[in-house]
């Protein structure tokens, strides 16, 4: 028999930036019996989760739910609004922006990949900063024939710990007076970092279940605008399973045109109840918790004397923090040591920063003591790996959390 839980005692510290730990409350909800996905009970479930997920995206418009990973939702977003040979302007902020660009190319789209030029400490400058909206505006102004059909950007770049200003990208498109659709990957940002689909003028937002929503992998989303729905009516890229039209129609009564992932929908219903609970601050409280956790973790990194992957403090991610290792130190070897000695999983460096940095996730089902345990494991591991530290990050984080109490109570009244 395959042994799936090999941790001998206590809980494993899953501090990667997703999949994030699934709360017991959600696991219990997912354990309910699977029901008839054409029966009346399911219709009620479907209508509830579709209304709830609109609140999470902060939209009045349809949100498509797929039984797929975020990669599937990337493809669905492009396939529904574009035609073969269309030009798409994409912006390189890290590994996941690069993967989305590669997927678009494989679909037969022409992609232009904007990036901030140069490098900082051996790392591409574009991988240390957010989307530069002025570069997008300049490129769109030069596109006088409107050949570019969509602008694609990543909200929270999971590989680098940078959260870009999506409202600024919308302003850039509007300033250029360009009709391109705005498409945003918020797979790791949704339900952790502030995100406003309607207010920010996004046409398609892509997201997934395994990050801020605190669910297992296997569910993904396309949040739509009326402009995107209109574009889908004439788009020519092949699509069948991903097609929005049949899903939108059947969702009106709470059903799907295919067999949905019923038990993940149970979990989604519970996750939305947790995130939207006004007793804990609702969505605004969720965003504030993540900001505070990120500040505590960054206090630790600074006290260690190590460099944060994101070089612009105005776009620090509330979801994760990337930690750059000193020259000559293999970040993956440090991660391996921390995992083996202290049962703590950290995110690896991806793509162009592999071996240069590791990532500490601070999202979802988390609290101050969870992070203190993870930071203690990091500090012990760094010392064992021979990394010279300027001071104690654990003490700095303790001072921060003790001196900056959470705005909402972590417990319900007895």
pLDDT (tens digit per residue) in 157-210: 999 999 999 999 999 999 999 999 999 999 999 999 999 999 999 999 999 999
Cα–Cα dist 60/225, whole Å: 9
Which helix (H) or strand (E) is 347 found in, with range?
strand 344-348
Cα–Cα dist 313/307, whole Å: 12
Domains of the chain with CATH codes:
13-20+281-403 (3.90.1150.10), 24-276 (3.40.640.10)
**By the 8 A CB rule, do 324 and 306 touch?**
yes
Q: What integer pLDDT is reported at residue 123 of this predicted model?
A: 82
Q: What integer pLDDT is reported at residue 414 of this predicted model?
A: 35
Q: What integer pLDDT is reported at residue 129 of this predicted model?
A: 96
Cα–Cα dist 312/333, whole Å: 27
Q: Which residues does residue 120 pair with via DSSP β-bridges, in sequence order? A: 123
Which helix (H) or strand (E) is 225 found in, with range?
none
**By the 8 A CB rule, do 113 and 92 touch?**
yes
118, 155, 168, 217 from 188: Cα distances, Å: 26, 8, 19, 12
Q: What integer pLDDT is reported at residue 374 of this predicted model?
A: 98
Q: What integer pLDDT is reported at residue 392 of this predicted model?
A: 98
- Please list the rounded mean pLDDT of every run of 10 residues in the chain (414 residues): 74 96 97 97 98 98 98 98 98 97 98 93 89 98 98 98 98 98 98 98 98 98 98 98 98 97 98 96 97 98 98 98 97 98 97 96 97 98 98 98 84 44
Q: Which residues does residue 123 pair with via DSSP β-bridges, in sequence order? A: 120
Orientation of helix 368-384 relative to helix 393-403, angle to 10°: 170
Which helix (H) or strand (E) is 19 found in, with range?
none
User: pTM for the complete prediction?
Assistant: 0.96
Beta strands across the sheet bearing 87-91: 63-66, 220-224, 204-208, 181-185, 148-154, 87-91, 110-114
């Amino acid at each position: 028999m395959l042994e799936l839980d090999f941790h001998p005692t206590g809980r494993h510290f899953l501090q990667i930036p997703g999949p994030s730990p699934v709360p017991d409350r959600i696991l219990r909800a997912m354990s309910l019996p699977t029901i008839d996905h054409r029966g009346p009970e399911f219709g009620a479930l479907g209508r509830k989760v579709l209304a709830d997920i609109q609140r999470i995206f902060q939209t009045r418009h349809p949100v498509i739910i797929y039984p797929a990973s975020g990669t599937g939702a990337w493809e669905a977003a492009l396939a529904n609004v574009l035609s073969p040979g269309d030009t798409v302007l994409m912006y390189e902020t890290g590994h996941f922006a690069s993967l989305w660009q590669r997927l678009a190319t494989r679909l037969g789209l022409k992609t232009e990949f904007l990036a901030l030029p140069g490098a900082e400490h051996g790392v591409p400058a574009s991988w240390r900063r957010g989307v530069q909206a002025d570069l997008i505006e300049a490129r769109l102004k030069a596109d006088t024939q409107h050949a570019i059909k969509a602008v694609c950007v990543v909200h929270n770049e999971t590989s680098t710990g940078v959260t870009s200003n999506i409202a600024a990208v919308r302003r850039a498109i509007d300033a250029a007076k360009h009709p391109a659709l705005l498409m945003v990957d918020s797979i790791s940002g949704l339900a952790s970092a502030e995100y406003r689909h309607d207010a920010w003028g996004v046409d398609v937002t892509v997201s997934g279940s395994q990050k801020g929503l605190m669910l297992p992998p296997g569910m993904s989303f396309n949040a739509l605008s009326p402009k995107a729905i209109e574009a889908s009516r004439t788009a020519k890229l092949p699509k069948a399973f991903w097609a929005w039209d049949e899903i939108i129609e059947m969702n009106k009564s709470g059903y799907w045109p295919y067999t949905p992932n019923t038990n993940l929908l149970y979990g989604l219903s519970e996750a939305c109840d947790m995130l939207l609970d006004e007793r804990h601050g609702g969505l605004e409280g969720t965003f504030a918790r993540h900001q505070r956790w990120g500040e505590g973790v960054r206090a630790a990194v600074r006290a260690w004397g190590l460099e944060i992957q994101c070089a612009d403090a105005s776009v620090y991610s509330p979801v994760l923090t990337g930690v750059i290792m000193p020259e000559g130190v293999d970040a993956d070897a440090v991660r391996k040591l921390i995992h083996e000695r202290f049962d703590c999983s950290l995110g690896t460096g991806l793509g162009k920063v592999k071996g240069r940095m590791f990532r500490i996730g601070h999202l979802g089902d988390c609290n101050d003591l969870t992070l203190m345990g993870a930071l203690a494991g990091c500090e012990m591991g760094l010392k064992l790996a021979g990394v010279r530290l300027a001071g104690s990050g654990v003490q700095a984080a303790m001072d921060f959390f003790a001196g900056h109490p959470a705005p909402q109570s972590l417990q319900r009244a007895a």
